Amino acid sequence: MSIGIGYGKVILFSEHFVVYGVPAIALGITNKAIVEIKKSDSLGYTSDTQGTIPELTTKSIRNVLEAMNIKENFHVHLKGDLPTFGGLGSSAAFCVAVVRALNNEYKLNLRNEQVNAYAYEGEKAFHGNPSGIDNTMATYGGAVKFIRGKTPAENKFEQVKIGSPLHFVIGVTGISSPTAKMVAEVRKFKEEEPDQFQNLCDQAGEIVKRGEKALASGDTKLIGELMNENQFLLRAIGVSIEQNETIIKAALSAGALGAKVTGGGGGGCCIALAKDEKHAKEILNAIKEKGFDRFITSVE
Ligand code: PMV
C-alpha cells in the first residue's frame, strides 16, 4: 500500500475569470486529501468523505494512470479533512494525492512539475476545462498568483508576498455543484453577453493587481474590500446562490472585513476575512447560527 497527500486551496480573487486568462490569487490551506492505494485486479474507489462523485473520480484515476503510463490497476481510498462540496480544490487535491501515492509506490522520484502535469490530466475528468489553478495549488501550496496560458505548459504562477497573517473563516453551504457545470454556465453567460463579460474580466484583473499589493503590505482592510468587490462580479455571472449569500451576510454582520464565494460557487464554499483569531471565532459562530458547517484557516 502507498499513501499520497494533496492540499486544498481557497481562491481569494478572480475565480472563473481565471479560466479566460485573467490572473487569479489563491492561497493554500492545511486541509488535505489523503489517498491510500493498493494494487487490485480492477480499478476501484472508496471514500470516507461525503459528496464525491464515484464515476468522475474513477475516470480521473484512469486519466492519471494513462498519463503516467501505468498498466496495473489499483483500489484507491480517499480520506482526509478537506470538504468535497466544492470550492476548496478537493478534486485537484485528490488527483495530486493519487499521483504522489503512485510516485511512492513505484519510487519514481517525480518533480513537482511532473506531479502537477499528471494531476491536471486527472482534473480534466472533473472540470472539462480546468484553468490549472487548482492542481497547481494542490501541488505547490503557498500564496500564488496564477495566469492561465494557451497550453498547460504556458501557465505562469509565482508566489506572492503576504505582509501580515490572514485569518479566514470558510463557510460550507453543503450544496455540491460540479465545477464543470458552473464553468459551463459562465461560458454561456460570456457567449450571450460578451461585452459585459469582458468588462467584468477587466474589473477582476484590477482587483488582482490591487489585491497583490494589499497582500504584500498587509492591508487587511483593503483585502476585505477587494473581496467584497470580487463578490459583486461573482454575483453578476450568477455563481452566488441564496445559501452563499446567507453565509456572506452572516459573516459581514459579524464584522468580517470581506466575504465572497470561493471557487466554482453555485453552493460550495464561501470565505470571510477576520480581523484576528478571536474575531474569526465570532464569524464562525455567526455562520454556525445560520446552520452551516464552517472552519477557520490561517495563512501566514
Ligand atoms: O470549485 P473549485 O475548487 O474546483 O475551483 C474552481 C475554480 C474555477 O476558477 C471556477 C475553475 C478553474 O478551473 O479555474
Q: Which domains does the chain have, with CATH numbers?
A: 2-160 (3.30.230.10), 166-299 (3.30.70.890)
User: What 3-state class would DSSP assign to 272?
Assistant: strand
pLDDT single digits (tens) 219-239: 999 999 999 999 999 999 999
User: Atom of ligand 1 at shortest distance to CA of 269?
Assistant: 1
Please identify every residue annotated as catalytic. 134
At 51, list the grid cell.
Answer: 459528496
pLDDT, the chain, mean: 94
Buried-exposed string 190-208: b where 16+ CB fall within 10 A, e elsewhere:
beeeeeebeebbebbbebb
Helix or strand (DSSP H, E) at 291: none
pLDDT value of position 300: 66
| 31 or 231: which leads in pLDDT | 231
Residue whose C-alpha is closest to residue 212's, from 299, 260, 143, 154: 143
pLDDT value of position 83: 83
Residue nearest to atom 11 of ligand 1 (CA): 16
Summary count for the chain: helices (H), strands (E): 9, 10
Residue whose C-alpha is closest to residue 260's, from 3, 4, 19, 24: 24
Q: What percent of the chain has pLDDT over 90?
A: 87
pLDDT value of position 101: 98
Burial class (CB in 10 A: 0-12, 13-18, 19+), 213: middle
Give the number of other CB atoms < 10 A from CB of residue 128.
Answer: 14
pLDDT value of position 276: 94
Give residue 107 CA to ligand 1 midpoint distance, Å.
31
Residue nearest to atom 7 of ligand 1 (CA): 263
| pLDDT score of 192 more than 70 | yes
Least reliable range by pLDDT among 59-63, 124-128, 189-193: 124-128
pLDDT single digits (tens) 261-296: 999 999 999 999 999 999 999 999 999 999 999 999
At 176, list the grid cell.
Answer: 455540491
pLDDT single digits (tens) 202-224: 999 999 999 999 999 999 999 99
| pLDDT score of 85 more than 80 | no
pLDDT value of position 130: 84
| pLDDT score of 259 more than 80 | yes
Q: What is the mean pLDDT of residues 151-162?
A: 92
Give residue 193 CA to ligand 1 midpoint distance, Å.
21
Question: Can you tell me the distance from the alpha carbon of 190 to that of 179, in angstroms, rounded to the nearest whole number?
Answer: 16
Q: Where are the beta strands (DSSP E) in 162-252?
A: 166-172
Q: What percent of the chain has pLDDT over 70?
A: 99
Pocket (CB within 6 angstroms of ligand 1): 11, 15-16, 18-19, 86-89, 127, 130-131, 133-134, 179, 183, 263-264, 268
pLDDT value of position 248: 98
Which of the listed residues 183, 190, 230, 271 should we mutate to test ligand 1's pocket, taking the one with most ligand atoms within 8 A of CB? 183
User: Atom of ligand 1 at shortest distance to CA of 8?
Assistant: 3
